[in-house]
Structure 1
């Protein structure tokens, strides 16, 4: 997804407002999730989004969104944000985040999600890491006890 940073998108420093970027990221992630599910998908959570550098007025923002793993009724979407200064041609990675979605039917009932099968080495790494990220999300949301997070524990205590 591409967007041009216009004056209405910026703050007093002529930098893209963070909320506008999050809005664009949510749209890109939603499209990716819905295409995978072939149905409506609603945002369930957004991981930490760090702003590595300002995105300036007139820059082109490119957001790449791709499903990284599916679970029973939720899926994780990885987003990478690139910025490009059209005048200079300079490109830089600006942001990265993971969004979680749930698949819903027309009545808002949670639906099962089609399985994702990773193919490339990068897809396999993202797929494997998704279970740890999911466990961390669930712990932070109070939906999982840390002792039950076996994948996370294995990072710190490999002998267990």
Structure 2
């Protein structure tokens, strides 16, 4: 498939109000609930790229810089950073907003990988992503290294095959 799409065409913002059922005993948003929302928001970005059903293939490290409290507004911004054959890497930025305190803050960032499926449920080719802004270009350029690291950690690539990662540490 020679189709291409701009990264901006995949952008998605999901907003939720953190309610008592979403929180733990400390009044913080539960990590599992956040992961659920992150998966949905990122899947929408991936589906905007390929116009097909997608499945989650991997979730990179997710660290929480700041909790999102009961009554705060949660925003999840997503955008496809790069596509490969049938997979797509999606960047997520999770923010909280305390309306009473009039503050906004970043809670965490992450990358999720999705695979597009054909009607038979098999992986299928996805369009190429074209980055435009400097931030999009930086994420696009780093995506191959992140992909190689995921493949190594998942046992699907040998370390000596990871050309992009080798270039970071070894001068040929």
- TM bin, normalised by shorter chain, reads over 0.9
Separation in 1 of the partners of 2:77 and 2:120? 30
CA distance in 2, matches of 1:72, 1:42: 14
Displacement of 1:54: 1.1
Say if 2:26 is the partner of 1:13.
yes
The one of 123, 148, 154 equivalent to 2:136 is 123
- TM-score by length of structure 2 reads 0.91
Instruction: Output the CA distance in 2 between the equivalents of 1:38 and 1:62.
Output: 24
Residue 86 of structure 1 corresponds to which residue in structure 2?
99
Gapped runs of 5+ residues in structure 2?
1-13
Query: What is residue 2 of structure 1 aligned with on the other side?
Result: 15
1:24 CA displacement: 0.4
Is 1:46–2:59 an aligned residue pair? Answer: yes
Residue 29 (structure 1) aligned with residue 42 (structure 2): yes
**Distance of 1:120 and 1:2 partners within structure 2:** 24
- TM-score (structure 1 length as normaliser): 0.98
For residues 107-146 of structure 1, the aligned pairs below 5 Å read 107-146=120-159
Name the residue aligned to 1:151.
164
Report the aligned-residue RMSD. 0.6
- Cα deviation digits, residues 100-154 of structure 1 (max 9, x gap): 0000012201110001111111111100000000000000000000010010111
Unaligned runs of 5+ in 1: none
- Give the count of matched residue pairs: 159
Question: 1:69 & 1:89 partners in 2: Cα distance?
Answer: 35
